[in-house]
Amino acid sequence: MALVSVSILNGDLSHLAQVADTIADADADLLHYDVMDGNFVDNLSFGLPVLSSLKPHVRVPVDVHLMIREPLRYAERFVRAGADLLSFHIESDSDPAETVREIHRLGIHAGIAVSPETPAESVFPLLGILEPDDFILMMTVHPGLGGQQFMPEVLPKIRTLRRRMEAEQLPLHIEVDGGINEVTGAACREAGADYLVAGSFVLCTEDPAAAVRALKKPL
Ligand code: DX5
Ligand code: ZN
């Protein structure tokens, strides 16, 4: 079973509460909130005040993806603003183990995000400190923009990571993010991913519910 997390980045940003309704009405599982600081990635998106304003309008858990230089410094503020799951990049400046522990202390699930050029093995030493239902977010595009082309070279990394989680019997999830549609989503699920982030595929279509159903279709 795959869960679908819908990225609002390519949604209608002038009507975010409506976008949140569309996501819940389409039967998606999570709302994916991409935070960019203009430093870790070149782009700037939205941050704390937008999240706290949007939160009361969201009927699914909020999956916050921090593409920022210092996630440890901001984790508590994002949880207060409404994050239900919080992922940060292993390539950021914060110590990853310390950041995971801080997210756990704040009482929510942690995710460690991995950019396409970072090997899957880089997260192996951290798998042991993750708690059941935490996740590794495998970027399937370069972080920074919505609407990019899926990178198939990430598929072997997903397989490697899933094999390692199975070998260690770790009840963790693998989330994929970037260029996910019906076809690329199925390829990622076959490789071992079980959380699919999709932005344009769900929100830039006439029928978001059909797009979510297509992503969840049994393999
Ligand atoms: C990219 C973001 C993704 C992106 C997904 O940096 O992390 O969440 O918005 O959008 P699509 O599905 O349009 O590639
Ligand atoms: Zn994202």
- Domains in the chain and their CATH numbers? 3-216 (3.20.20.70)
Q: Compute CA 24 distance to the chain's CA centroid, rounded to the nearest angstrom.
A: 17
- pLDDT tens per residue, range 10-63: 999 999 999 999 999 999 999 999 999 999 999 999 999 999 999 999 999 999
Helices marked H in 12-88 — which ranges? 16-25, 48-54, 71-81
Q: Can you tell me which residue has the tokens 């990178």?
A: 151
Verify whether residue 42 is a known catalytic residue.
no
Coil/strand/helix, residue 69: coil
What pLDDT was estimated at residue 1? 86
What pLDDT was estimated at residue 136? 99
CA atoms within 13 A on the CB side of 57: 14
Verify whether residue 207 is a known catalytic residue.
no
Ligand of minimum distance to the alpha carbon of 65:
2
Q: How far apart are CA 182 and CA 204, in angstroms?
A: 14
> Do the beta carbons of residue 67 and residue 60 sit within 8 Å?
no
Q: Which atom of ligand 1 is nearest to the CA of 43?
A: 6
What pLDDT was estimated at residue 178? 98
Q: How far apart are CA 216 and CA 82, in angstroms?
A: 26
How many angstroms separate the alpha carbon of residue 64 from the centre of ligand 2? 8
Q: Residue 172's pLDDT band (boundaries 50, 70, 90)?
A: very high
Q: Which of 34, 37, 63, 134 is catalytic?
A: 34
What pLDDT was estimated at residue 140? 98
Q: Which atom of ligand 1 is nearest to the CA of 179?
A: 14
What pLDDT was estimated at residue 36? 98
Q: How far apart are CA 1 and CA 105, in angstroms?
A: 29
How many angstroms separate the alpha carbon of residue 33 from the centre of ligand 2? 7
For residue 66, what are its two tokens?
A: 């921090």
What pLDDT was estimated at residue 16? 98
Pocket residues for ligand 1 (CB within 6 Å)? 7, 9-10, 32, 34, 65, 141, 143-148, 177-180, 197-201
